[in-house]
């Protein structure tokens, strides 16, 4: 009888413990504190227009961070996301230029397929060449960027060249939330559910924790890693299409340097740079935090240099915390094993 009485309390206690020890909590807490402090200093920071701009500025990086998290969780990294985004964004402008009446949904499909194909190149090279993903994707970053520069040249596509309905994705709102931001939230939720509920999603964590052990358990490591890169490319392609809707122009330099912001967002969001732990939700929160830092420094008229310094400190702090947590878990595991002997 007592067991039945206390079981719900034990479950609640366990659930609360998991909640407060989640890797995303410190990041979310920092985000809330930053918003509150900035609002106190400058109440206009949370004005309707400022809030909308903040959400719009975070949207693209949120999608890219979710995409990058899939790869980093497998103990890899994709440094070519900025170049892929640029290729898809310029490709989107080209498609609208050639086929002005093309259905917008079809443009999204084309963008995701194009991005997925570019991601598959990364995945096949990483899984077949047995070369670190850092090296492979650094190479493809320059290759893709070179292709974009050759393709685009000095040509640019402007927002006025696109259909009005397409441009409205970054203008129209639902419950004061921009449509493209809602798309980013839906993607984050969908990918988070996939990672937690679908076996192939959970396999990515196993691969990131110990690839050899995952292989011994029958997990197709190469196939899963390839799938992660393809998914990363497809989501980056989606972000590229939305980028074309969000910004006034796309050209040869579109997406240049954004890959570093994306990796920073993922790491700050609690995804271990060495793989095996973290969540896409945390990566998304990390992206929002970095966008909020930029907005907060602008609202408080602080030099932009400090934005980069703060991001650097956050990255170092995230890596140090992750290392400390890993050591404590390993120590606890050894103690538990000693008790069982």
Residues of the chain with pLDDT under 70: 1-22, 322-323, 325-341
Determine contact, residues 288/59, Cβ cutoff 8 Å.
no
Q: What is the DSSP string of 241-270?
A: HHHHHHSSEE-TTTTTTHHHHHHHHHHHTT
Residue 28: the pLDDT is: 85
Gap between the terminal Cα atoms of the chain = 33
Determine contact, residues 209/57, Cβ cutoff 8 Å.
no
Q: Can you tell me the distance from the alpha carbon of 43 to that of 213, in angstroms, rounded to the nearest whole number?
A: 53
Residue 136: the pLDDT is: 95
Residue 154: the pLDDT is: 86
Q: Which residue has the tokens 């299409």?
A: 241
Residue 20: the pLDDT is: 44
Q: Which DSSP state fits 45?
A: G
Q: Can you tell me the distance from the alpha carbon of 32 to that of 36, in angstroms, rounded to the nearest whole number?
A: 6
Q: What is the DSSP string of 5-25?
A: HHHHHHHHHHHHHHHHT-THH
Q: Can you tell me the distance from the alpha carbon of 223 to that of 11, in angstroms, rounded to the nearest whole number?
A: 37
Q: Which DSSP state fits 278?
A: -
Q: Which residue has the tokens 């984050």?
A: 188
């Amino acid at each position: 009888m007592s067991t039945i009485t206390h079981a719900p309390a034990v479950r609640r206690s366990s659930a609360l413990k998991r909640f407060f020890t989640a890797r995303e909590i410190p990041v979310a807490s920092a985000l809330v504190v930053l918003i509150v402090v900035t609002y106190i200093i400058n109440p206009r920071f949370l004005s309707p227009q400022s809030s909308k701009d903040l959400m719009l500025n975070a949207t693209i990086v949120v999608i890219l961070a979710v995409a990058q998290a899939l790869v980093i969780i497998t103990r890899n990294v994709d440094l070519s996301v900025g170049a892929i985004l640029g290729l898809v964004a310029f490709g989107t402008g080209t498609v609208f230029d050639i086929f002005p009446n093309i259905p917008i949904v079809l443009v999204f499909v084309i963008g995701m397929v194009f991005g997925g194909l570019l991601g598959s190149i990364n995945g096949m090279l990483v899984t077949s060449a047995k070369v670190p993903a850092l090296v492979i994707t650094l190479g493809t970053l320059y290759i893709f960027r070179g292709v974009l520069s050759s393709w685009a040249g000095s040509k640019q596509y402007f927002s006025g060249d696109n259909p009005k309905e397409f441009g409205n994705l970054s203008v129209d709102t639902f419950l004061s939330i921009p449509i493209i931001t809602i798309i980013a939230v839906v993607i984050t939720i969908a990918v988070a559910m996939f990672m937690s509920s679908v076996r192939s999603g959970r396999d990515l964590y196993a691969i990131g924790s110990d690839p050899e052990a995952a292989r011994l358990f029958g997990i197709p490591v190469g196939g899963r890693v390839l799938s992660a890169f393809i998914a990363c490319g497809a989501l980056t392609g989606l972000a590229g299409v939305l980028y074309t809707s969000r910004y006034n122009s796309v050209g040869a330099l579109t997406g240049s340097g954004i890959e570093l912001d994306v990796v920073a967002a993922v790491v700050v969001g609690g995804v271990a740079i060495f793989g095996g732990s973290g969540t896409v939700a945390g990566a998304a929160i990390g992206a929002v935090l970095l966008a909020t830092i930029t907005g907060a420094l602008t609202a408080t008229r602080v030099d932009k240099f400090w934005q980069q310094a703060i991001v650097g400190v956050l990255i170092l702090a995230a890596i140090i915390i992750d290392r400390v947590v890993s050591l404590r878990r390993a120590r606890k595991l050894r103690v538990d094993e000693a008790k069982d002997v």
